[in-house]
Chains A and B, each alone.
Chain A
Amino acid sequence: MAEHSYTSRQELDQYAFHPAVTLLVPVAAVLLQAVLPRLWTRLIILDLPLIVVIFFALSPRSPIAGTVTGTFIGLFQDGLTSLPLGVNGIAKAIVGYIAASLGFAVDADNLVNRVAINFVFCLMQSLLLYLIEHFLVGNADAHLRPLYELLRAVCNTVVAVPIFFMLDTFRHRD
């Protein structure tokens, strides 16, 4: 009988996904993000691609994978908007990197940790998007609306928890 021997937390909790899942889940997230506000306008407050970036960054615990995943999902999201390509790409690359780095330190399968991680990263992304729009794009009318961003973070966290549990079913140990 084969015996697994783990020498670090990274090895202990590192998961992998089937390539189809890695490809289809981000596409589905961006697609749902585009379609859901047609059904109910207020659903525009959600950011499903961000939730997927955080999940895929936490599970393999590889900052490079987190950065690459964040970049591609962000650029894909930018492609559907009127924003210059790279606004979401930069923000999600940074979020993916930090989420993956954080995955070494905390237990990402713990519910409380998942809630805290999603809430904090959602706020972080709002701040990054504001900084990018204001300073890199040069949009002087870009504003940070603290209350709205808090509400967005709460809503995304509420939605992220069941999505994380659903996506857990697709992962397997390396």
Chain B
Amino acid sequence: MDSFFSRFKNPLVLVAFVLLQTIALAVQVQNNEVRGNEADGPRVSRLRHLTVMTVTPIERLLHGGNLNVRSVWSNYVDLRHTRQQNRDLQQEVARLRQEQAAFAEDAEQGRRVQALLAFKQQYIASTVAAQVIGTSGSDRSRLVYIDKGSNDGIRPDQPVMTPDGVVGKVRDVFPHTAQLLLINDPTAGAGVILQSTRIRGILRGDASGKVLINNLTADSRIKPGEQVITSGGDGVFPRGLPVGVITAIAPDPEHQPYTAITIKPAADLARLEEVLVVTGTQSTLPALAQQDADSALATASAKRAADLAAERLPSIHDDDAPVAPGAVAPAATPDGKPPLPIVPRPQPTLHPDKYTPGTTPSAEDLTPGAPKAGAPVKAPEAAKPKGEPQP
């Protein structure tokens, strides 16, 4: 017996190690199935914690050093472009304000309809900005590490995004760091809607790092180029966040009769630097967003009023404007000169009163608060809304 163990010592050690790990693997897989999610049990979590605590402090140091070098570069070199960039951004802000004003009215109408239907919309209330400091180091597991953890209010299953779109969700949280599971990981998933067709689907990653919807059957309405947004139905991602654009639609040979709809994520998952972790949502529009919406609505109303007035008023002719094809040119005067533009003039006043233009004395001649000499004192009239026509 002794000679058996000494003779087969090496393979026995291998078998023991492999067997132990296989049992541990089976227990983890079974526990995950029982819990119905991919979260680890307490023991596995402790082991992961140990590994992460060994690696992330060094990653954080390296990331800090990298940031310092890059900040020196950006301060001394990239600053040259700041002025032009600022001008471009100001122009973009102005353009976006116009767009926002155009959309504000529709959004307000949408909110009224949602209120009527008692629809619970979730708005992003608070976010925490975080830096990506490391990766899993494996192409079988698409996750990254961020420099914020439970001490910063990060909790598991919180959605993570960039200004471009959805990135993923928080998987595991440690005191000063957190694991972020990207949407292109095979274990990730999200409820989505195709923006124009309003078809709902489930998004998931595949082994090669692509983002797919593979629970929809063939539909001629689904076309490449269509925007995909979150549906809010998964209980993780708030509704309406941009996810990406459909790039390809093909039959899925492994999941017939479904199609594999490939999506190009809106956020660049390969080059993540800063991300926003959504730490809180609310059913009403946040105060700042409400202010923006109100100002956009006011701008939209003013624009609409100006458009209406412009439609009713006689148009001003632009002499330099090209003549539209088919339009009849105005006839020239007998002396050969072009006709003068018609300027509307007010009709002569039949019964002049104190409101008639020209009858009000100059402001320099008036004393604030002094009654007009010889004028009878009248009771003050009720305030009229601004802009209401006087009798």
Contact = CB atoms under 8 A, between A and B. Distances in A.
Please classify how large the interface on chain B is, using the bins under 10, 10 to 19, 20 to 34, 35 or more: 35 or more
Contacts of B38: 82
A132 to B, nearest CB: 8
B185 interface: yes
Interface in A28-67: 30-31, 33-38, 41, 44-45, 63-64, 67
Contacts of B181: 82
Contacts of B138: 33, 44, 77, 80-81, 83, 88
Given A71-B17, A85-B24, A79 B47 contact: yes
B134 A41 contact: no
A34 B50 contact: no
Contact of B22 (A76, A90, A141): A90
A119 B299 CA distance: 66
Interface string A72-102: 0001110111111111111001100100010
A38 B17 contact: no
Contact of A83 (B52, B141, B271): B141
Nearest to B10: A63
A4 interface: no
Top 9 nearest A-B pairs (CB, nearest first) are A79-B51, A81-B141, A33-B137, A86-B21, A63-B10, A34-B137, A86-B25, A84-B28, A41-B270
Contacts of A129: 140
Interface of A: 27, 30-31, 33-38, 41, 44-45, 63-64, 67-68, 71, 75-77, 79-90, 93-94, 97, 101, 129, 132-133, 136-139, 141-143, 145, 148
Most chain B CB within 10 A, of A81, A83, A129, is at: A81
Contacts of B50: 79
A37 B58 CA distance: 15
Contact of B136 (A41, A63, A81, A93): A81
A90 B25 contact: yes
12 contacts: A30-B55, A31-B59, A44-B137, A44-B138, A67-B10, A79-B47, A93-B17, A133-B140, A136-B25, A137-B25, A142-B207, A145-B208
A35 B30 CA distance: 32
Contact of B13 (A64, A84, A145): A64
A84 B32 CA distance: 10
Given A71-B21, A129-B140, A133-B140, A82 B28 contact: no
A115 B181 CA distance: 35
Contacts, number: 141
A74 B159 CA distance: 30
Given A77-B137, A84-B29, A141-B186, A67 B17 contact: yes
A37 B137 contact: yes
Nearest to A28: B58
B14 A67 contact: yes
Contacts of A137: 25, 29
A141 B254 CA distance: 9
B48 A79 contact: yes
B28 A81 contact: no
A33 B48 CA distance: 17
A108 to B, nearest CB: 17
A33 B171 CA distance: 20
Given A81-B138, A86-B25, 8 more contacts: A27-B54, A79-B51, A81-B140, A83-B138, A84-B28, A85-B24, A94-B18, A145-B208
A34 B206 contact: no
Contact of B29 (A89, A97, A138, A142): A138
A167 B140 CA distance: 27
A95 B187 CA distance: 27
B227 interface: no
Nearest to A82: B141
B298 interface: no
A145 B135 CA distance: 22
Contacts of B206: 141
B55 A34 contact: yes
